[in-house]
Structure formats: structure tokens, C-alpha cells
Structure 1
């Protein structure tokens, strides 16, 4: 039986969100008819507007959430705006593709309405990233920002909405829930009025998305090893690992959890990492830090994305003031050893192994411990070892001689730039690559008879037909133009209250439907003539 948003709450929030979804459905139907040039001009305008405010939102995100590094957040905001647009602008997700060799034609079909959840760790760049991907593929998007960073997330979404509409996008193509709550999010996720969930966040949120009954794309947790082989450029490896672990105070899920160092270079690597601002703590301090970081075996959320010096001070450990990363000598790798788990803060395990076999074994053990499907890094000059490492790790991305944080996220490699990484079958995900626009559109395929005596059609010069009637907003008392995009009615003079559904509205709706039917009949009659 169809499932709709529960509209029984006294404050009207669920009711208003249900109306936002209906507005998004209209916008998606209209936007799906837009030509590629128009789509690109809209998305480019969004990307440039976002990049222009990259620093302001970086500062705002750090101030509101209480963690991260504003300089690095600014970089992410730019990479997920103009950087993202430049990466995908030459790919075509709007026109059909004819392939005479296989006698097939593929017609793009957008998902429709995407419900996007964004995390507190990347509150603004995730909004930019998901909105740009959605509009590149002619989808509408409803964004639910994380409650811990909702002010900056809501404002960023409204900036993109205003910019998109000013550039010609349908009203309501980007909307945002200003006061997200778990009951509201669950209601939206289980509604049959949305078409796809794009979830980035903690495991409970991702599991809820996958169990909602709607198609969902989510990311699992990471526990990413960085193996440094005896053939590595040790100084370069140390610099890249230190910069990667310190990037935005290590809140990207692609960051390194531990360095696995071959004994032949482990001493030199530790010294080089010290030069890069990594402080190797003592065994006594390690035990003190472990208890502080994982009280009762669970990660201390208050330390999420905090600077290394702040974490050390709160644990009663003295470190140099210029320390960027706390380097922790690990006793072992194991499910019952918390320091070998994912740490979304600049605390990096350091584990020395006797040889390559031990190194591979340690990396596999880390990945089994809540990191399956995610990412791994190797620093090596031996190509055969690189190939073996990638073959033996149950992850979907292995980055070579680069920091894992930005390398696996596609910023320092040619992987797709992303704020959502698919973890594949190993990580209980349906997608095993960095999420891009290709995952938000599907293709209807025309397949000709493969027999040689049946010719393939000539599609040269053809374009997809315009619909007989373009979807449009209902008129009259029923109004979907709510004030979600920044303190103004989106259609002046036609702004009814958000909860203004009255019995008399049914007459206006029936009149609108009759008018649409008449237009369709006239269009059909003209085609016959």
C-alpha cells in the first residue's frame, strides 16, 4: 500500500515537508525536459555562487559544529563546487546515446526526487556536492542537514536554490528541511513520494536508509590502513601521510587509521613524520590516550575533529605546540583493540611489521575491523607489490603514493571527486565506487535485432521529443511556492500559507486537472493532423 508522509504532528512540520516533496515532484518532472546547455548554465551558476562563499561557509561550519579546520573546509567547499562542475561538465547526462556497433540507443531517465542527508563532519561541501550532482542529472533534491550543523547547511542549500531558480531552474528544484528530526527523516525516507535516498553519515543513518524500502545509496564506515613498503620514498610518504591525517582534523572517512610500516624503513619513517609535525607518544601516554579516546570501548564523540594539541591536553599528555598529529605506537591490530579502529581525529596508529607478509596480514585485519569495502593506501615503488596489495585488500579503492584522505576522495587522484564513497558488496553497499552523477540517472535502452539483415536506424540529427504539455505548478488556492529559499515568496503574489489545505481547494485542483487534460487532447489532435 502506498506510504505517504505522516501529517498528524501538531506543529505542521511533517505536513509542510509533505508539501515540499510534492513541489519537488513537479520541479523534477519539469526539469527532466530541460536541454543540456540550459542544465549546464544553471549548474555552473550554482558552482560559482558556492565557490564565492567558500570561506564564509568554512568559518561558519567550524564555529557551529565545533570541529574541523576552516582553511581545509574552504578547500573542500571549492572542490565540491567549481571543482566538481569542471570535472563533470563534459559528460552528457541529458541527451540520448546511439551506438551503431551494438545497434542500441540509450535514453537518460533521472531518478526524480532525491532525499539527501548530509553529515556534521562535512556540512556545507556535502550540500554543494549533492545538489550539483542532482541538478547535473536533472533531478530535484530535498536536503536534510545534520542537526549539529543545520544553520550553515540550510543557508548553503538556500543559496543554491536561489541561484538555480535565478538561472532558470524550476521553482522548488532544491529545497531544505530547516528543522530536521529523526521522526521527520524516517517519515521522508519511507515515503513512496521520493525516488532515491543519498545518505552520508553514521552507520545508523545509512542502515535506516537501506531499510526504508526506497532505493538508497549510502556509505559505510572506514578503517583505512596505509602500508609503507621497503621500496617507498620514505620522506615523501611521511609528508603525504601527515598532511592527509591532519587535513580538516581528520574528519573525512577516507583518512588513515594507522600506518603499517615495514621494519626496513620504520625508524626512518617515524623520524620523517616527526619532521612533519607528528608527535610519537610514549607507551604510558598511549594507554592514557586510549582510555580517553575510547572510554568503555566507544569513541569519545567530543574529540571528533579536534586539533591534536587539544586532544593531548584533554588527555593530560604534553606535546609540542606545533603538533599536527598524535602518532601512537600500536601493540597489535585487533577487533578488541580500539586504537586500531577508525579515528575521526588526528590520532594515527603506527605499527611496525617484520616483512611484507606481516604487513599484508595487518592491513587485512584492519579492513576486517569495520573497514570492509572502503579504502586503503600503499606507498611503494615496487609495482608487483602494489598489484598484490590491491588484489588482497577487500576495499573498493586503493590509492598509491598519495594521502588517503584526499586521494580516495578523488581530490588528488583521478577518481571521481566525492563526499560519498560506495563500499560495494564487501561493505554491504550496492555501489562500489565514488558516487557521481552517473549513479543518479538510469538509461532506457532501445535494442535492435542483432541480425545482419535488419538495419539499425539513422538517429543523426534527432533529439528527444518535447512533451505535449510541460508540467507546471498548480494555480489558484493550492500553492507549492513556500518560503523555503530565503525570506521571500518564490512566486510573488501567490504565496498561501504552507498549511493552507482547505476543502474548497479541491475545486481548484479539479479545474487545473481538466485544463491539463484539454491541453493534452489538443496536442494529440494536432499530431494526428
Structure 2
């Protein structure tokens, strides 16, 4: 039988997009229940997920390096661990569940979770970012759906399934933590525009972050880093050099908080150089700098093959000879800015080094670097003069200045008392909505009951007023062992999701015939 050309055609929806939309629906159902959990239940669920994350830190560190080819297993394990129990500990006293009663101001504040969070994760820090965003969502009573970078989709999908199983075993509703198994740019763009997504946490490349902001949904995005680090003559040169090399070599420099350009004065350059060499850095000669620049920035653009690779590997690719113990390649440059590509963000253990005659000139060079890229992000200074530290920070368009600490860990809150974070808000300088390290408090807004300020109007006694909770969640159930590939039999869906997907597809087919 031959169909007439004008006959209605069946419109079969894209399976990956339909599956993802089902995940959003499932998250919506889950979060409506989870939003009524009291704080004790929320913390129990979060602690259980943190424990599952901690136990699998080594497994996913190995998996991430194997799948992406980036970074160092030992360092990724540490980042995974820091994104588990220590992250929960940091927010132990941050109550985002109970109403706050301020009798002095005659005001009651009720926390309202965002709802469904769409979280983008990068290839450079895949599982640690997933851990971090999952815990932020749980602490703030939200559901989270991950869209991982395609280079890290397998480890992220498995990690999300493990954390979801731990949450459910602790009494959480199913569907709080999910992952898109087949991410693609069109799919992510469609999900970012979904009216069922309340907020987007965007960590990734500039185009994806800009797409999140233009999606029509609220978004919290982070811009690129390009941290300048200044070493003053007053600093302990050996100690400063050790901290910088340790930071730059950490996980092969994939953290966006790593030092990108080193600045010193000419008067302390020799002492600093001795310290850098002792710490494991290779100081390049002028011809070597030319070879490295040509390989790392062919036609003026970063060679992405270098991202997350070791200093020795990069040296070999660029035709340089270095000892096997080399941790960082340091390239002395005559200028900073647009005409010197080595002063851009690199995400690999290559550090440009420029010298200045005065502190004021060094500060100006640091600001020039940030104007090129990295505005709003981070900078570092090593000095023993508080006035210089203040002047340096005041002159730069950044929201974090790390003092006498490794910038990679310091700006991310792991070597300072800043909030531990894998989302570094770049604020107005960096075209972002938030200028601080992102935490669970950014996923909650507050409804405020405000009484008449007239002293003759009484507020009333809230001592016996009941908060709108269902109480403790059900008793924890034993966690099922994670599958080798999560829910592989149904393309990432359980039986209930598959049944709902079929019904949804039938409805869409029916609409297509009408």
C-alpha cells in the first residue's frame, strides 16, 4: 500500500531527548517529596552519599584518567575525597531547611529549594565536580541531573548511579541524582531551555557557559581562569617556589585556579629561579621557549592535546629534552598580553614567567593578564608585606587573591578557609551572576514574612508553629551493588521510566497525526 503524499506522517521523537526529558520529569517528582524532608533526614541522606563517594574515590580517579587521558590518578583521588566528607563538614552548620525567625525585625524566612538542577561537568575534573554538585543539591533539597562532557560520560554515569543508590538506601526518593548517558550539544541545549529545569550549574567551556546564560533559565556559570602569581622580594623565595611548582603540577594543572603567569621583580629573579629548579621545574632557554610556543599555540590557538598532560610528555611533543623528574616547564617571556600566547590560560604544567622593575609595574602586568582572560577569577601573591598584599588585591579585577599558598588548592578552598568549590564564581568582572565560590546556599531562595514595623503591631509567638515537614524519611534500606554499567539493559532507564517513556512517545505520535 502506498501512502498519499498529503497523508499525515508519524513523527518519531529523538530517543535521547525523550529519555532525558523523562529524567527531568522523574527528578521533578523526586524533588517534590525531598523538599518536605526535615534537616535530620537531609543530612542523613547527604552523609550516606558522601560515604559512597569517599569509598569510590580511587576507583573513579583511575577511571577518569583512563577515559579522558588527563590528570594524575593520585591527585584526582584526593579531589574526589575532598568533595565528599570534607565538603559536607564545611556546611554542617549551614541550615538551608528550617525557617529562621527574627523577632527583633519581626520577620520569618522560609527556605525554598530551586527544584530541578541541570549540572554540566567538565572533562578536566569530571567525578570530583559531579560529587561536589550532587552534595550541593542534596544539602539544599534539590534534585540534580548531570550532563557530563562526552569525554567523561562513562565514569560520570556510573558515579551518578552509585550516588543515587546510596541516597535511595538512606531513605531518599528515587530520581534525586541522575545522569544523561548520551550527552550531545543539541541535547544539552534543549535541556537547558526546558521549563522544567529551575537552574543550570554550568562548568565547562566558554561557549557552553554562554549558552546556559542565554537558555532562558536561571544559570550560574563560571568563566575561565588565568591566574597571575606575584612573588615579592620580601617572600621566602624557596618556599614560594615550592608552593608554586606543587600547585602547577597538581593533577597536571587541570584546575582552572592554577597559576598561569609568574611575575617577579628583577631583583629577586635569581633567588626565585634557584628555588624553582630545586622544586622540580625546568627553566626553558629562549630557543626552547620558541619551540614550546609553536607547539602549544599553533596558529595562535591552544593545542588541546596538552590539557592535563605531564610536563615531560609536553616537552617530548615540543621537541625539548628534559629530565624525567621534571614537574613544570617554565617559559621566561619578554612581555605579557595578547602578543604573547604563553600568558593565556593553558590548563597544563606550563608556566610563563615575566619580570618587572617595580611592584607597581608587576601589579599592572597582572591586571593586563586578567584583562586578556581570567577576569573575576583568581590571583596569588607571595609576600610578607601586608600593605603590598592589600594594594595588589585592590588593583586586580578578581574576587579571590591567595596569599602565601598554592593557588590551585587555595582559590578552590582546599588550602585556605574559602568555601571548598569546583565552581569559582567570576562575578561582574567575569560576566557571571555570582562572585564567590558556589555553595548550596546559591540553590535556595527565601520567602520572607515581614510584619508591620509599627511597634504597636504584634508579630505573634512562633514558638509552637510547626514547620511544613513530613518528618524523618523512611528507615534506610541496604544499598544495591552498582552494576558494571548503570541500567544498561534499558539504555540508562529503569522499567518504570521505560514504561513512562513509551506512553509519552505514544502521546507525541498521536499529536503528530492530529
1:182 counterpart residue number: 185
Distance 1:485 1:134, change over 3 A: farther
| Greater relative contact order (Cα < 8 A, sep 6+) | 2
SS at match of 1:499: helix
Distance 1:307 1:36, change over 3 A: same
2:502 counterpart residue number: 500
Distance 1:495 1:361, change over 3 A: closer
Distance 1:180 1:382, change over 3 A: same
Deviation string, structure 1 residues 62-120 (Cα, Å, up to 9, x no partner): 01000100000001000011111111122100000111222211100000000000000
> Distance in 1 between the 2:138 and 2:365 partners?
42
> Distance in 2 between the 1:124 and 1:152 partners?
7
| From 268, 273, 297, the counterpart of 2:271 | 268
2:373 counterpart residue number: 370
**How do residues 215-234 of structure 1 correspond to structure 2 at under 5 angstroms?**
215-234=218-237
2:406 counterpart residue number: 403
TM-score by length of 1: 0.88
1:521 counterpart residue number: none
SS at match of 1:170: coil
| From 429, 446, 449, the counterpart of 1:443 | 446
Is the contact made by 1:96 and 1:463 (CA closer than 8 Å) also made in structure 2?
A: no
Distance 1:442 1:10, change over 3 A: closer
SS at match of 2:379: strand
Number of equivalences: 486
| From 158, 172, 179, the counterpart of 2:161 | 158
> Distance in 2 between the 1:436 and 1:164 partners?
20
Is the contact made by 1:105 and 1:447 (CA closer than 8 Å) also made in structure 2?
A: yes
> Distance in 2 between the 1:494 and 1:177 partners?
17
Instruction: Mark the runs of 5 or more structure 2 residues left unpaired by the alignment.
Output: 1-9, 474-484, 509-514
| From 177, 193, 196, the counterpart of 1:193 | 196
2:292 counterpart residue number: 289
Deviation string, structure 1 residues 101-144 (Cα, Å, up to 9, x no partner): 22211100000000000000001001100011001100011101
1:100 counterpart residue number: 103
1:379 counterpart residue number: 382
Is the contact made by 2:234 and 2:384 (CA closer than 8 Å) also made in structure 1?
A: yes
> Distance in 2 between the 1:239 and 1:502 partners?
59
Aligned-residue CA RMSD (Å): 2.2
**How do residues 301-340 of structure 1 correspond to structure 2 at under 5 angstroms?**
301-340=304-343
- Is it true that 1:348 corresponds to 2:381 in the alignment? no
> Distance in 1 between the 2:174 and 2:489 partners?
13
- How big is the shift at 1:60? 0.6
Instruction: Mark the runs of 5 or more structure 1 residues left unpaired by the alignment.
Output: 1-6, 471-483, 507-529
1:254 counterpart residue number: 257
> Distance in 2 between the 1:216 and 1:495 partners?
27
| From 5, 13, 16, the counterpart of 1:13 | 16
| From 50, 54, 62, the counterpart of 2:57 | 54
> Distance in 2 between the 1:143 and 1:386 partners?
39
SS at match of 1:15: helix
Is the contact made by 2:425 and 2:435 (CA closer than 8 Å) also made in structure 1?
A: yes
